[in-house]
Structure 1
Amino acid sequence: MRINRSDNNAENRVQPTSPAPAAQEAKEEKAAVQPPKKKEEPVREKTKPQKKRKAKQEEFEDEESKPRRRFPLGCLIVLIVLVLVGVGAYQVMKFYSEIDGGTELGPEQTITVEQGSSVSSIATQLKDAGIIQYDWLFKEYVKYSGKAGGIQFGEFTLRSGMDYNTIIQTISQETYRPTTNVTIPEGTTAVGVAQIFVDAGLVDSIDTFLNCANGTDGSDFSQYSFWTQIPDNGRLMKCEGYLFPDTYNVYADEDVYYYVDTLYAEFEAKTEGLTDTINQKGTTLDDVVKLASFIQEEAGVEAEDAKVSACFHNRLESDDPLWAEHKLESNACSYITQDVENNYLWNSPTAEYYGWPALGAIPEDVLNAYDTYRISGLPAGPISCPGYAAIEAALNPDQEYLDEGYFFFVTGHPDTDVAGQYFYAKTADEHQANVEKAGWAY
């Protein structure tokens, strides 16, 4: 039989044949008989975790791409302002509480307001004592309340926690602490000053006053610059010359230190403006006071102070061979036994205090330190407490009398028509003639 191949191929192309059922069964049976192969672990695909990481990364990128929410600057400023306002309000409340007074009062304290104290110093004093907390606030309150003029000096009882009005009212009340006036004439010796305070009933004895004034009882006045500059050179008294002569209104119930301190404070106040001139002159305050004490004793009249000063300066500083030893030669401090002469070593309160007249002789060491006819230059210490005019004259002698070379002077005898007049001379002969004119020739 003839087979048509082209038709067969066409059929194969159109209808593909599947394996015969018998063959398929044999295949499956063979597979069932064969031992099972070791099952390999399937390789797990890591597609899912990668997808998760990718998703998170995309989410993070989305977060980054989104604008972040920031704390508004305006809110920050408002918050700061509110804090400042709160703190300020709290502080203002403290100030008002200070002015109005506290709920509890502290223990009583005695506050002493010195005469002449400023409102500022009083406020500082109250703060230091714990009466108030803010001295500047108290000062401004007193200032703007117009009550500064009513504040008095004296001792007052105050307590912490008091309101400002009560404090001001308390220290504006007049106190009736007893006072007394004390007058110290210019040229008074230290012993004489002590006697004045004894006579006024303020100090029990001259020794009590002088021991304090000289610091021998342990009293310390180093708060004053002049005190630390007084040399320890064998002088009789450290205080001599520095107990400033004036009229003082002092408390009558104080201790001796208070009285001495009052005089020293006045000396410091009166002489502190002379420092520059003293330095320019190349001298010391102590030497100025020494010379001033002699001017005070020898002149005694302010109009003559500068001329007498010129005579002393010429004696101490002249190149004249007759004055080569530069002796002061003042009768106010020498071995002169005439009662009519005012002599520091012979008939003064100082001489009486040391008992020299009674002994009939002045100790040799004292003469070597103070006798102006024996020693050259100024003595160991002043011989009295000079006034300001004499101190200024010691620094500024009369220039004409200085240049003309006057060395001598004498005053008219009190029992003559020329009493109180001054006679000046350049030479010893001229001076002797003036002594006769002044009524001192015997």
Structure 2
Amino acid sequence: MKKGSKVLFTILLVLLLVAGAGVGYIWSGMRPLAQEEREIPVSIQQGSGTAAIASQLEEQGIIRNALIFKVYLKWNGEGSRFQAGKYAFRPGVTYDDIIAKLNSGEVVPEEMVRFTIPEGYTVEQIADKLSNDGIVDKDRFLKLVNDTAWLKGQAPIAAHIPTDAKLKHRLEGYLFPETYELKKGSSEEEIIARMVQETEKRLSQASPTWESDLKTRGLTLHDMLTLASLVEREAVVDAERPLIAGVIDNRIAKGMRLQIDATVQYALDKPKERLYYKDLEIDSPYNTYKIDKLPPGPISSPSTASIQAVLKPEASEYLYYVTKKDGTHTHLFAKTFPEHQRNIEQSKKTAAQ
């Protein structure tokens, strides 16, 4: 073999070996890893380029070779539609499957936490429930509902809360009773803000003209929520809420004390199953047996029905009501005190039967 031929042969052989090695390198790099059932979480940050994503996938054991994955993306014109988010990939997934998932934004659903705040709950009850369910730290929750400056810009209605040292909890009545679903691990601030925002939303649902309704009635938003919280604790049957709201209005108009037991329960450190006459003497700005006006703020979280009742109370001449005690949760209404006394006796007889 001539010298020139030998050189050419050597060059060709080297090229073939290099090409073979290159093909082997590419084939090895493109070959999926061994398939596994476990899923590996991968968080793609907003603004991440294909180089960063490829390196991340290699580092986390999803692909064998970041460089080859980048070349594959370039060759196929992919990568420009990748979406940020939290993904889950199983080892052994193909390049095409990875690309399809990143293009579609098939992220792992956020783990959510679901909880229900019953109508008529107080801030203390809400804090206890959420704390017992492991959703909030009770002390931090109570601190945040009493120092509401942080809510500025997140919930405009919080600005309607008066600066009053007599308020037991500043956000009492502003945390709407509802079933909520939030991201697991949501902060106390996020949870409280969501509940106050729900109150804003429900005001419009209760009455699209609620702001003008308040002006017509000469009430502030805070007064309205205070009245609604009283109705919430006094009424069980929705049909009676507007009538009870009207009775409360009538008593206020006549300068009568409201004498609502629920306000005494709220004033007590620990509510009782039964109130005694001595309890009615408790010295508290919330005790409507002792004060001549509304308490300084709401005593519970009112429902939409109670808010509607206060915005549109039912007119009547009634000044009193008492529970029937017949299992219907309805009331007997009276215009005069003697009539009210007779209703009380009738209610007692019904309970004894």
| Secondary structure of 2:270 counterpart | helix
Whole-Å separation in 2 of the counterparts to 1:178 and 1:104: 27
Aligned residue for 1:136? none
Contact persistence 2:155–2:193 (CA under 8 A): no
Whole-Å separation in 2 of the counterparts to 1:169 and 1:103: 12
Match runs of 1:276-425 below 5 Å: 276-318=212-254, 325-334=255-264, 343-346=265-268, 351-352=269-270, 367-399=283-315, 401=316, 405-413=317-325, 417-425=326-334
CA 1:104 to 1:263, structure 2 compared with 1: closer, same or farther past 3 Å? closer
Within the alignment, does 1:226 sit opposite 2:144 as a pair? no
CA 1:224 to 1:103, structure 2 compared with 1: closer, same or farther past 3 Å? closer
Within the alignment, does 1:430 sit opposite 2:324 as a pair? no
Contact persistence 2:85–2:107 (CA under 8 A): no
Contact persistence 1:418–1:438 (CA under 8 A): no
CA 1:305 to 1:167, structure 2 compared with 1: closer, same or farther past 3 Å? farther
Whole-Å separation in 2 of the counterparts to 1:420 and 1:198: 31
Task: Give the AA of the match of 1:344.
Answer: Y
Aligned residue for 2:19? none
Task: Give the AA of the match of 2:202.
Answer: K
Task: Give the AA of the match of 2:135.
Answer: L
CA 1:184 to 1:103, structure 2 compared with 1: closer, same or farther past 3 Å? closer
| Secondary structure of 1:409 counterpart | strand
Whole-Å separation in 1 of the counterparts to 2:267 and 2:214: 29
Whole-Å separation in 1 of the counterparts to 2:103 and 2:345: 68
Deviation at 1:212, TM superposition (A): 1.5
Whole-Å separation in 2 of the counterparts to 1:284 and 1:183: 28
Whole-Å separation in 2 of the counterparts to 1:436 and 1:333: 24
CA 1:105 to 1:199, structure 2 compared with 1: closer, same or farther past 3 Å? same
Deviation at 1:410, TM superposition (A): 1.0
Whole-Å separation in 1 of the counterparts to 2:121 and 2:203: 18
Given the two structures, how large is their TM-score scaled by the length of structure 2?
Answer: 0.65
Between Structure 1 and Structure 2, whose CA radius of gyration is higher? 1
Deviation at 1:393, TM superposition (A): 0.5
Whole-Å separation in 2 of the counterparts to 1:207 and 1:224: 22
| Secondary structure of 2:261 counterpart | coil
Whole-Å separation in 1 of the counterparts to 2:225 and 2:347: 29
Contact persistence 2:267–2:284 (CA under 8 A): no
| Secondary structure of 2:106 counterpart | coil
RMSD after superposition? 3.4
Whole-Å separation in 2 of the counterparts to 1:171 and 1:439: 68
Deviation at 1:412, TM superposition (A): 2.3
Task: Give the AA of the match of 1:312.
Answer: I
Contact persistence 1:183–1:246 (CA under 8 A): yes
Deviation at 1:395, TM superposition (A): 1.6
Greater than 6 Å deviation, 4+ residue runs: none
| Secondary structure of 1:423 counterpart | strand
Task: Give the AA of the match of 2:297.
Answer: G
Whole-Å separation in 2 of the counterparts to 1:289 and 1:252: 30
Whole-Å separation in 1 of the counterparts to 2:258 and 2:294: 7
Deviation at 1:283, TM superposition (A): 1.1
The correspondence for 2:196, drawn from 261, 264, 271, is 264
The structure showing larger relative contact order (alpha-carbon pairs under 8 Å, at least 6 residues apart) is 2
Whole-Å separation in 2 of the counterparts to 1:371 and 1:198: 28
Whole-Å separation in 1 of the counterparts to 2:104 and 2:112: 19
- How many aligned residue pairs are there? 257
Task: Give the AA of the match of 1:177.
Answer: E
CA deviations over 1:248-287 (Å, ceiling 9, x no partner)? 1122212111111110110111114411211222211100
| Secondary structure of 1:438 counterpart | helix
| Secondary structure of 1:391 counterpart | helix
Aligned residue for 2:211? 275
